[in-house]
């Protein structure tokens, strides 16, 4: 993980992105989720999702999605 300082001016903030993280194109989407900022390329906004879905191992859910029986609780 790389750490960077935030550069502040009157109305904006900027972060210098290291060379190994540079985007191939100039246009990006930016989204804030709580305290997290996500930047992704405009030409393929679902690239990260597609990559993460292809990262599952072959044995993921090999036993199916069997769930244990619902627990019985007092007051339900």
Domain ranges in the chain?
A: 27-55
Q: What percent of the chain has pLDDT over 90?
A: 36
Query: Within its chain, how far is the Cα of 4 from the centroid?
Result: 19
| pTM of the predicted protein model | 0.54
Q: Which residues contact 28 (CB under 8 A, 6 or more apart)?
A: 39, 40, 41, 42
Is the model's pLDDT at 8 over the cut of 80? yes
């Amino acid at each position: 993980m790389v750490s960077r300082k935030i550069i502040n001016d009157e109305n904006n903030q900027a972060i210098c992105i290291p060379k190994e993280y540079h985007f191939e194109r100039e246009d990006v989407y930016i989204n804030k989720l709580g305290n997290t900022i996500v930047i992704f390329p405009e030409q393929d906004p679902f690239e990260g999702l597609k990559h993460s879905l292809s990262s599952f191992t072959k044995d993921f859910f090999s036993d199916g999605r069997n769930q244990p029986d619902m627990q019985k609780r007092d007051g339900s």
